[in-house]
Amino acid sequence: MSNERGRERYDAIVLGAGGAGLMCAAVAGQRGRRVLVIDHSGEAGKKILISGGGRCNFTNLGAGPDNYLSANPHFATSALRRYTPADFLALVDRHDIAWHEKKLGQLFCDGSARQIVAMLLEECAKGGVATQLGRTIRSVDHVDGRFRVALGDREVEAPALVVATGGPSIPKLGATGFAYDLARRFGLKVVEPRPALVPLTLGGEETLFRTLSGVAAEVIARCGAGAFREAALFTHKGLSGPAILQVSSYWRRGEPVAIDFLPSAPDGVLAAAKRARPRIRFGALLASLLPARLAETLAERLGLAGDLGNLPDRRLAEAERALRDWRFTPNGTEGFAKAEVTAGGIATAGLSSRTMEAAAVPGLYAIGEAVDVTGWLGGYNFQWAWASGWAAGQAL
Ligand SMILES: Cc1cc2nc3c(=O)[nH]c(=O)nc-3n(C[C@H](O)[C@H](O)[C@H](O)COP(=O)(O)OP(=O)(O)OC[C@H]3O[C@@H](n4cnc5c(N)ncnc54)[C@H](O)[C@@H]3O)c2cc1C
């Protein structure tokens, strides 16, 4: 429908055809709203397509507010309660998409992430949602309570505008900081965005670990309020693997990360080994608990050699303490180019946790990764995209 000036009118315009934007548009469209979704990428849901190694870890059965970081840890509660992993799973089942649980409640498609994008586009089509893909947004204005968006040579307008353009992680997929610029223009605050779920880099004294490139071990990694028992992987730049990606979201420059290299061993394991096997060498004992190259490096760092029987109990107790709380200070991260998500974003203080609408700008909504809500690794980020998209879609 066009108004007298040739501007097309909608009830709501959604900026961003990612998981959050598509969910929001489908829900609002099926509630009878005339919705337009705009994306500068020529393809919808690009991050969904590459997610979970191409199989999309589309939710986590245990997703709850405790699995998210935000300046306001309670903000996500309402949306997550109202649209749950079971709700998304029911949608997946209605579309006959086969899935499996990999571990720790993480649900993946058996086939392809493409099925999730196709499902969302079908849901949008059911709601009569219009899409404009591959279109550059030239400007966004707010005039007389209506939002006007200029696209190439046309203008569209609506009383509601949903910002769903995500965060700047993986710019080569078309990710930008557009949401933050727009939010600031409308007077909303932005919590400093930073790369999260990202490999950590090591420099200076820590470079010894870089010689372990390719070695993986199960550890407990700790940083700030985060503690994760999963695999850590040594890389030629530093450390990666799920345990490290998880703590990277909690890491701030200058802070140490602590690693427990002996998560499965009982307390006092070294002293007990001394009594049971006094002739075994310290390095050989460590190699029975850890990958050989890692054991060798750690034994060298601890400066312990020779038979266990000849090492004083005190030195073994110190060594065990060090192995359970090995501290290192990353010199950085691999940045937005390698970050699975962006932590920080549009401050939740200015948004309604029920509808995602900006208190100071009626009709303006922000959802998904653009908002200062960041999930753990394991399907939590998509669950936030669905839940926040659903909440806004119900309110439009
Ligand atoms: C490699 C990788 C794997 C991942 N795997 C998983 C996983 O398995 N499970 C999980 O839960 N999470 C995963 N994530 C995180 C998850 O993809 C995101 O949290 C989620 O996609 C966020 O959804 P969104 O809709 O808010 O933003 P996005 O999916 O980023 O969508 C934003 C959309 O806005 C568009 N856009 C951006 N700027 C502009 C602009 N200026 N003009 C117009 N359009 C614009 C983009 O093209 C994009 O289509 C992964 C992320 C990456 C990078």
Q: Which residues pair with 364 in a beta bridge?
A: 161
Q: Quick one: tokens of 370?
A: 């653009």
306 burial via Cβ count (<10 Å: 0-12, 13-18, 19+): exposed
Q: Confidence class of residue 7 from pLDDT cuts 50, 70 and 90?
A: confident
Question: 43 CA to middle of ligand 1, Å?
Answer: 12
- Please name the residue whose Cα sits nearest to atom 36 of ligand 1: 165
Task: State the pTM of this model.
Answer: 0.96
Mutation probe of ligand 1 site: the residue of 340, 376, 388, 390 with most atoms within 8 A of C-beta: 340
**Ligand 1 environment, Cβ below 6 A:** 15-21, 39-41, 46-47, 50-52, 56-57, 137, 164-166, 169-170, 174-176, 178, 340-341, 368-370, 379-382, 385
Q: Quick one: tokens of 178?
A: 């557009």
What pLDDT is attached to residue 171? 93
Atom of ligand 1 nearest to the CA of 135: 43
Question: 19 CA to middle of ligand 1, Å?
Answer: 7
Strands 154-158 and 8-9, how do they pair? parallel
Q: Confidence class of residue 273 from pLDDT cuts 50, 70 and 90?
A: very high
Q: What is the DSSP letter of 9?
A: E
Does residue 209 register a pLDDT over 80?
Answer: no
- Please name the residue whose Cα sits nearest to atom 30 of ligand 1: 166
Strands 364-366 and 341-346, how do they pair? unpaired
Sequence-separated (6 or more) residues with CB below 8 Å from residue 68: 76, 373, 374, 375, 376, 380, 384
Summarize the confidence of residues 103-113 as an average pLDDT.
Answer: 96
Question: 275 CA to middle of ligand 1, Å?
Answer: 54
Atom of ligand 1 nearest to the CA of 173: 47
Q: Which residues pair with 357 in a beta bridge?
A: 365
Mutation probe of ligand 1 site: the residue of 39, 47, 68, 115 with most atoms within 8 A of C-beta: 47
The average confidence (pLDDT) of the chain is 95
Q: How far apart are CA 59 and CA 53, in angstroms?
A: 14
What pLDDT is attached to residue 355? 98
Q: How far apart are CA 360 and CA 188, in angstroms?
A: 8
47 burial via Cβ count (<10 Å: 0-12, 13-18, 19+): buried
What pLDDT is attached to residue 153? 84
Q: How far apart are CA 241 and CA 291, in angstroms?
A: 15
Measured torsion, CA atoms of residues 284, 289, 294, 299, in degrees rounded to the nearest 10: -50
Three-class HEC string of 293-320: HHHHHHHHHHCCCCEHHHCCHHHHHHHH
Does residue 120 register a pLDDT over 80?
Answer: yes
Sequence-separated (6 or more) residues with CB below 8 Å from residue 205: none
Atom of ligand 1 nearest to the CA of 20: 25
Q: Which residues pair with 6 in a beta bridge?
A: none
Q: Confidence class of residue 203 from pLDDT cuts 50, 70 and 90?
A: confident
What pLDDT is attached to residue 3? 55
